[in-house]
Amino acid sequence: MALTKTGICDFGWKAHDFKLPGVNGEFWSLGDVRGSNGTVVAFICNHCPYVKATVGRLVEEANALQRIHVGMIAIMANDPADYPEDSFDNMKVFARKHGFTFPYVIDETQGVARGYGAQCTPDFFGFNAQDELQYRGRLDASRTALIPNARRELYEAMKQVAETGHGPQQQTASMGCSIKWRG
């Protein structure tokens, strides 16, 4: 289990571009998923109990964010050699099973995850329309079990970003499984 550091939203930090293969057979870049009001870059995986518990809500929130013109992409950066459940073929099954309406891509070199400073799954990076970091928090208070009616922290933060260009000053760090780095 990993907990991202508190006070970790480095406001204004610029998003790094990437070009990664998606489960739909296409390559995706930051520009391909950028919303006119902001973008969420989420680091997730298939095997993590934190992701499994909240994936339905994640899809709901991604759909809600798309309605307010905030784009989203999910990146899987774990080493599938050590975690076969996170293989590219299993990513395709996972995305289809859960009805992903956003790109799900693999970071085979782990370079994007390292560049973003991703620490756990799930780990959310919310950027404004100028690609400046404004949110580095959690989806909601759910962890390995979904909390019904939990405050929609990611959505509320990104709605504020969409409306003002700035994220909330108070953010709760995400908690989940650590990124499985190659040796």
pLDDT tops 80 at residue 126? yes
The pLDDT score that the predictor gives to residue 10 is 87
pLDDT tops 60 at residue 179? yes
Q: What average pLDDT score do residues 124-151 get? A: 95
Q: What average pLDDT score do residues 127-156 get? A: 95
Hey, where are the domains in the chain? 2-178
Query: Confidence class of residue 3 from pLDDT cuts 50, 70 and 90?
Result: very low
CATH homologous superfamily of domain 2-178? Glutaredoxin (3.40.30.10)
Query: Confidence class of residue 121 from pLDDT cuts 50, 70 and 90?
Result: very high
Distance CA 47, CA 121 (A): 10
Percent helix / strand / coil, the chain, rounded to 5: 30, 25, 45
The pLDDT score that the predictor gives to residue 107 is 98
pLDDT tops 50 at residue 5? no
Query: Which alpha helices (DSSP H) does the chain contain, by range?
Result: 30-33, 49-67, 88-98, 111-116, 153-164
